[in-house]
């Protein structure tokens, strides 16, 4: 990694950390506790410090970085959770009323 890239990366991380308290939209965080690329403390910090009232964090025991490509049981659980989370937030739809002929 070049020094300039490292400096920009650190600056971006600091900016993200400063902005987290202003996050007020719904979000879902999924993190594997065996992830070697991203520190789980970042996910926990975001969950704790964001002001959103609709936020959720799920930590997958033994899960790695790419949870959707993890062991089959982890990947299935992740896809189920994401699908449920999105579905729960979709507006209810009404069945179209049949039109008279």
The burial of 59, by beta-carbon neighbours within 10 Å (0-12 exposed, 13-18 middle, 19 or more buried), is given as middle
Q: Is the pTM of this model over 0.75?
A: yes
Domain 15-88 has CATH 3.40.50.1820: yes
Beta strand pairing call for 55-60 and 27-32: parallel
Under the banding of pLDDT at 50, 70 and 90, the label for residue 9 is: very high
What's the pLDDT score for residue 90? 92
Per-residue model confidence as pLDDT tens digits over 26-84: 999 999 999 999 999 999 999 999 999 999 999 999 999 999 998 888 999 999 999 99
41 vs 5: CA distance, rounded Å: 23
Which residues, at least 6 apart from 95, have a Cβ–Cβ distance to it below 8 Å?
none
- Domain segments of the chain as ranges: 15-88
């Amino acid at each position: 990694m070049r020094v300039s890239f490292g400096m920009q990366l650190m600056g971006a991380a600091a900016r993200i950390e400063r902005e987290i308290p202003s996050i007020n939209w719904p979000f879902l965080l999924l993190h594997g506790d065996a992830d070697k690329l991203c520190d789980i403390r970042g996910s926990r910090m975001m969950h704790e410090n964001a002001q959103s009232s609709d936020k959720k964090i799920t930590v997958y025991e033994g899960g790695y970085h790419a949870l959707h490509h993890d062991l089959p049981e982890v990947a299935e659980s992740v896809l189920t959770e994401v699908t449920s989370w999105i579905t729960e937030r979709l507006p209810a739809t009404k069945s179209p009323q049949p039109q008279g002929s």
